[in-house]
Structure 1
Amino acid sequence: MKNACILCYLMLLTGLHVAGQKKPGLLALTDVSIIDANHRQALGHQTVLIRNGRIRSIFTTGSENLPDSATIISIKGKFLLPGLIDSHVHLATDPSGVDNRAHTTGVLKRMLQSGVTTVRDMAGDARVLAGLSREAELDEIPSPDIFYSALMAGPGFFSDPRTATSTQGGVNGDMPYMQAVSDTTDLVRSVARAKGSGASGIKLYADLSAPLVAQIVAEARRQHLNVWGHAWLQQARPSDLVNAGVGSISHAPLLVREVIPEIPANWKTHAHDAGFWDKATPDLSPFFRLMVARDCILDATLLTYKKWAESDTAARWDYEVGKRITAQAYRAGVRICAGTDDDQEQFVPSEMRLLVTDAGFLPIDAITAATRNSAMALGIEKDRGTIEAGKVADFLILDQDPLSNIANIGSVFMVLKNGRVVQKKGASVTIYVK
């Protein structure tokens, strides 16, 4: 059958959620260059065939006939990446205040438009997160898919006002998704409650001992639940978490606690040049060898520390040391994922740029951090993070090559989530229906 050419104007005039359009049963993206962790150099002239939201096959354009039932989008000269994954967000810390629905859905929409198709929320009101997660999964709102954590911390943490805003209407420290734990806690029940909240993993935070960390991880593993940790827990060093078997640890600056029990006062009170920070940053090579051996992922979160340093000179050390530690980890072969923490103005593309400009990453490794490594941190690498047959069809399509300049990660041409076009910039795209 002869191709009929239909010119479809998918205008992004007011941020329209194009996912409202019916998802084609069979969609072909043709003549595109693929970039992902498996293709460190762009693989040109490829066709990606998508059926019912998953990748059916990938082949050189023109080498196979396309089915008559396929809808074809020709994107010659563009660059196809896996959808980006933000491994560290906070969307529901205060759902009745700053994280109200209008604000949060606006943030999620902008994330999706930037190419972020999946996020991991690292502690908030799971009642809200469960609802948002369902709506995102069903494409009822323009949003990345949302995976979230249940938090466990020492009892003292629950005087923090953030825990009160995240548990309104319940008992602070005794909600399934936000629990105070101690040596007398029934961990079988606590982990089961966390799992029942719909969380994909448990986040360990604040004032837990190394033996208690090991017990939580062991019980969570028995109940098939991931465990992620703040890199330092006051009573547990970073190596205690890694030895216990957590899947990822968050915040590069906290890794200094492996060898420095207290942060030197002059780090916070004096202005220092780059040479000072080069000498002051400890060598963490033995710790990074442990991370590699245990396949523990570093969730560095550089963006939030850079913004913090810009607003508070006493916090400058966090960023100066954090970016150097991240560079050390990268050179040591540690897997590093890409998370933005509580920044809701800039998204993962900004973290990726910092990994290149401030931590010495190659652009392909920054892309890998925000795709495959973040998928591994969430435990969803079988479905997302690379462009392979069988995986979910979440894609970021760029006008310009990000391997030549990581800033090109912002040249968004199109975003697809679950095989559906959800974002299109520019005047038009030509779609062929056979």
Structure 2
Amino acid sequence: MKNFARRLTLTTCLLGSVTAAAYAQQFTPQVQEFIKVSAPVVALTDAKVIDGTGRPALLHQTVLLQNGRITQVGAIKKVKVPAGAQVINCAGKTLIPGLVMLHEHLYYTMPVGGYFNIAQMPYSFPRLYLAGGATTIRTAGSIEPQTDLAIKRMIGEGKLIGPDMDVTAPYIEEPSMDIPALNTVKGPEDAAATTKYWADRGCTSFKMYMHATRADLAAVVREAHARNLKITGHLCALTYREAAEIGIDNLEHGFMASSDFVPNKAPDVCDNNVRQSLLRLPVNSPEMTSLIKFLVGKKVALTSTLTVFEPYTGREVVLGGGLEALIPQMQERETATWKQNQQRDTASVRLFKKNMAWEKQFYDAGGLLVAGTDPTGAGRTIAGYSNRRQIELLVEAGFTPVQAIKVSTLNGATYLGREKEIGTIEAGKQGDLVLINGDPEKDIQQVRQMEIVFKNGVGFDSVKLFESMKGKVGLN
């Protein structure tokens, strides 16, 4: 009787596991419409593979996917394709890991009267992120965290299309700016209570904002680190050095938000001279070298968000070619703003190039540089399109394509503590990878030619997803 009970328990557990595994691959008809590959065994043959590790690319490779995982990666002559596998000939094409992007949002710039504001895009942005190769994202600051958490759940249940999500709680910000959608706290006790509240509801990251103080950060670090959760920041009142001393894990926007070089800066005060102080600072200054060394020593990661700072002059209206994604009114708005700013952003161009150089210096010094896009700002940055553009801009900054892809894949996975599961194309990893019709090493803009984005071994039609969202951004 005892043996029978044990067998019954074991059988029940096994059936539960099978059911859970099968359920994870169930999708609604609305999602299935965009799935191009769903076979249990898939062989991607004769591909160029940039595996995300930083190692040189390999030619004529076969990648086997089985039940959502990568089982083999090797030369086409050495990997035997199992009988019954779906074979996809990748000659002339490139495989990269699914992007792991750490400064994403599910909202877009939507002014309220004359005030800056942001509005949730719960349907279009998750789709566009996946279409643009992002299989994992961190929402670096939420305005509707309950919506973000629900979307994360519904994507996991196969009801919506989108990436895996690390959901950040509402911004930790002191009252200061008239942005209706922005969360505020009043002092460190409130900051600590906010952290506990949203951690209990499933948020896994926290973000300090511009007017948060040293006491606010210390309170959030205390509560979040006790739960093994991480904190990032778009700072101003706090310097990078102060934040690193207190225990912040990540800093956003490269060095564009660093107030460390403001003369006579008052503690806990957001000084309007940050931009001017950075414009005055030489690219190869000993002061920046010292700050970089300090941050690397403290193991503070830095997020590159070059897309949100890209100048207007001589560049695209919407980064990555996504103008048609916007509703007509937004297309008109962005085009008009773009025209008005042509040849009028020389200071922005100088600072943009400096920040590129500083990010490369941080990377070369051994710092963990990760990537994101920040679809806010003036409204030129749109999910999906901007993720591909971020890789192009890293190359413009002096990174090789292989380095830029590593920053946008493995480095993000490493920061999230998921490098054993995602971020590279290696046997045993989750089947997250992107098939590109071209060679980004020959021309980095070929990264835009994504065909299939595999998430957990299921291949989504990138082109079809982008097409489905044309004229939708600004609605939902």
1:241 corresponds to 2:251: no
- The equivalent residue for 1:119 is 137
User: How far apart are residue 95 of structure 1 and its match?
Assistant: 10
- The equivalent residue for 1:387 is 425
Which sections of structure 2, spanning at least 5 residues, go unmatched? 1-29, 266-270, 314-337, 376-380, 465-476
Q: Deviations over 1:378-399 (max 9, x none)?
A: 3432321111222221111122
Q: Which of 138, 151, 155 does residue 132 from structure 1 map onto? A: 151
Q: Measured at CA, do residues 215 and 412 of structure 1 come closer, stay the same or move farther in structure 2, by a change above 3 Å?
A: same
- The equivalent residue for 2:162 is 143
1:341 corresponds to 2:374: yes
Q: Which of 285, 295, 302 does residue 298 from structure 1 map onto? A: 302
Q: Measured at CA, do residues 332 and 398 of structure 1 come closer, stay the same or move farther in structure 2, by a change above 3 Å?
A: same
- The equivalent residue for 2:204 is 200
User: How far apart are residue 340 of structure 1 and its match?
Assistant: 0.9
Count, aligned residues:
387
User: How far apart are residue 126 of structure 1 and its match?
Assistant: 0.8
Which sections of structure 1, spanning at least 5 residues, go unmatched? 1-14, 164-171, 174-179, 427-434
- Classify the secondary structure of the residue corresponding to 1:324: helix
Once the two structures are superposed, the pairs formed by residues 31-430 of structure 1 within 5 Å of their partners are 31-38=46-53, 40-92=55-107, 103-124=121-142, 125-157=144-176, 160-163=179-182, 173=184, 180=185, 182-185=187-190, 187=192, 189-230=193-234, 232-234=235-237, 236-260=238-262, 261=265, 267=276, 278=282, 283-307=287-311, 311=341, 313=345, 316=348, 318-342=351-375, 343-344=381-382, 346-357=385-396, 359-423=397-461
**In structure 2, C-alpha distance between the alignment counterparts of 1:344 and 1:143, rounded to whole Å:** 15
**TM-score normalized by the length of structure 2:** 0.71
**In structure 2, C-alpha distance between the alignment counterparts of 1:352 and 1:105, rounded to whole Å:** 24
User: How far apart are residue 157 of structure 1 and its match?
Assistant: 4.3
Give yes or no for contact 2:73–2:79 (8 Å, CA) kept in 1.
no
**In structure 1, C-alpha distance between the alignment counterparts of 2:282 and 2:65, rounded to whole Å:** 48
- The equivalent residue for 1:30 is 45
User: How far apart are residue 410 of structure 1 and its match?
Assistant: 1.6
User: Percent of aligned positions with the same letter in both sequences?
Assistant: 25
- Classify the secondary structure of the residue corresponding to 2:63: strand
**In structure 2, C-alpha distance between the alignment counterparts of 1:266 and 1:211, rounded to whole Å:** 25
Amino acid at match of 1:352: I
Give yes or no for contact 2:258–2:274 (8 Å, CA) kept in 1.
no
Moved more, 27-36 or 211-220: 211-220
RMSD between superposed Cα atoms in Å: 3.4
**In structure 1, C-alpha distance between the alignment counterparts of 2:70 and 2:53, rounded to whole Å:** 15
**In structure 1, C-alpha distance between the alignment counterparts of 2:364 and 2:51, rounded to whole Å:** 20
Give yes or no for contact 1:94–1:162 (8 Å, CA) kept in 2.
no
**TM-score normalized by the length of structure 1:** 0.78
- Classify the secondary structure of the residue corresponding to 2:256: helix
**In structure 1, C-alpha distance between the alignment counterparts of 2:247 and 2:301, rounded to whole Å:** 11
Q: Deviations over 1:169-198 (max 9, x none)?
A: xxx64xxxxxx15233483x5433121232
